[in-house]
Amino acid sequence: MEIYFDNAATTMVCKEAADAALSAMTMEYGNPSSLHNKGLEAEKIMRRGRESVAALWGVKAEEIYFTSCATESNNLALSGAVKKGLKWGDTVITTKAEHPSVLEVLENLKSEHNFKLIYIDLLKNGQPDMDMLKKYMSEKIILISMMHVNNETGCIMPVREAVNMVKKASPRAFAHSDMVQSYGKTGVSPAMLGVDFASVSGHKIHAPKGIGALYIKNGVSIKTGIFGGGQEKNFRSGTENVPGIAAFGAASEKAMAEREETNKKTAEIKKYISNSVLSCLDGCFTNGESTVSNILNITFTGLRSEILLHSLEARGIFVSSGSACSSNHPSPSKVLTAMGLKNGEIDGSLRFSFSGYNTMDEAKYTVKVLLEEVPKIRKFYRG
């Protein structure tokens, strides 16, 4: 048996997305910039993909700009917003819960342009400290970036409240949200959050890796650093990834049709694993409050998560010990650290993340294995 509970890292490509990509690669393979029929076929695929991604996100098709992934989307949005905003402001605000593709971009921009970069602390429940945010309100704020759903804990962040607060103090400020973990799952749109920019990756919703999108609110304009053929309305030059766009669109359509059913299924799986572990194993607790249905972060005290992760893998269960983008470089989770967990608690934390392809039988088997492996590892582990 193989059980994949690491869907927050990446997902299996669904048949609909794979079929759409294959057709775009082997049938409608023209360059969408070409004027002949093959080019027009490719352009039509792009248009449908754009409309499908926009529909799932609750935005207009013309507000969607295709990229290679959310990391690129974050880079483009943050760089453009900061460089434009520095003409009149000097402060950027983010949180300690953000993805590296936000934090590292802002750090690099700060070293280049020397602005004030404020990191909002996290509370023990994984939520940002809104009282701290209030203290930094100023008309000099040029940007706030706050993710919608945290990739490690699944916490749903109060983006709308934060954006409203910032824009009241600084009406010209830009607002950005990394919506990678909420796209296709929460039904929340960038417009509901009040942001100017939002980022997403297709591989989190059963599309292939290598395709993403950036939402740019109509009327908002920033410069790009990618020049060439003028694709994506001169915002991101380069021949478009038509197969990826076709697959992204197909996966978005599937996610929209199955969202309610998928959320119900993942919520049941999450509840079963959480309740079973907490009731049957001492020294365990979950991390984060107000979380999405498909992400569960559990601390197993008295062991190292890496050991438990490989013990589960040996039994056919795949989970994560943290963010997939940083798990190959072992270091304490910055998110859990910011939440105030002790080193031993952070070392014993695992993330389980689910999709509509997972089943309750998989959850039951996983609990059975956990109840066997955790006591065994604790018995021999010397932390």
Strand pairing report for 295-300 and 197-201: unpaired
| Per annotation, catalytic residue among 14, 69, 284, 325 | 325
Q: What is the SS3 assignment for 335? A: helix
| Burial status of residue 290 (CB atoms within 10 A of its CB: 0-12, 13-18, 19 or more) | middle
**Number of C-beta neighbours around residue 298 at 10 A:** 21
* Residues 292, 224 within the same domain: no
Domain count, the chain: 2
Query: pTM of the prediction?
Result: 0.95
pLDDT of residue 235: 84
- Angle CA 10–13–15, to nearest 5: 160
Distance CA 79, CA 106 (A): 8
pLDDT of residue 376: 94
Where does the chain show beta strands of DSSP type E?
3-4, 64-67, 91-95, 116-120, 141-145, 174-178, 197-201, 212-216, 284-286, 295-300, 317-318, 349-353
Strand pairing report for 3-4 and 91-95: unpaired
| Burial status of residue 62 (CB atoms within 10 A of its CB: 0-12, 13-18, 19 or more) | exposed
* Residues 117, 154 within the same domain: yes
* Residues 267, 232 within the same domain: no
pLDDT of residue 280: 97
* Residues 180, 271 within the same domain: no
Distance CA 161, CA 269 (A): 30
* Residues 204, 316 within the same domain: no
- For every residue of 9-57, DSSP letters joined together read T--PPPHHHHHHHHHHHHTS-S-TT-SSHHHHHHHHHHHHHHHHHHHHH
- For 40, the token pair is 């027009």
- For 99, the token pair is 């993805």
pLDDT of residue 325: 53
Hunting for tokens 């001492």 — which residue is that? 282
Q: What is the pLDDT along the chain (383 residues), one digit of tens a residue?
A: 899 999 999 999 999 999 999 999 998 888 877 888 888 899 999 999 999 999 999 999 999 999 999 999 999 999 999 999 999 999 999 999 999 999 999 999 999 999 999 999 999 999 999 999 999 999 999 999 999 999 999 999 999 999 999 999 999 999 999 999 999 999 999 999 999 999 999 999 999 999 999 999 999 999 887 888 888 888 888 878 999 999 999 999 999 999 999 999 999 999 999 999 999 999 999 999 999 999 999 999 999 999 999 999 999 999 998 644 554 555 789 999 999 999 999 999 999 999 999 999 999 999 999 999 999 999 887 55
* Residues 78, 170 within the same domain: yes
- Order across the sheet with 116-120: list the strands: 64-67, 212-216, 197-201, 174-178, 141-145, 91-95, 116-120
Active site residue 14: no
* Residues 170, 137 within the same domain: yes
Domain range for 179: 15-254
Where does a domain end: 198, 232, 254?
254
CATH number for the domain harbouring residue 193: 3.40.640.10
* Residues 105, 223 within the same domain: yes
158 neighbors 115 (Cβ within 8 angstroms): no
- Angle CA 313–178–149, to nearest 5: 60
* Residues 274, 239 within the same domain: no
* Residues 243, 269 within the same domain: no
Where does a domain end: 254, 274, 291?
254
pLDDT of residue 142: 98
* Residues 247, 292 within the same domain: no
pLDDT of residue 330: 59
Where does a domain end: 215, 239, 254?
254
Radius of gyration of the chain measured on its C-alpha atoms: 21
* Residues 152, 279 within the same domain: no
CATH number for the domain harbouring residue 366: 3.90.1150.10
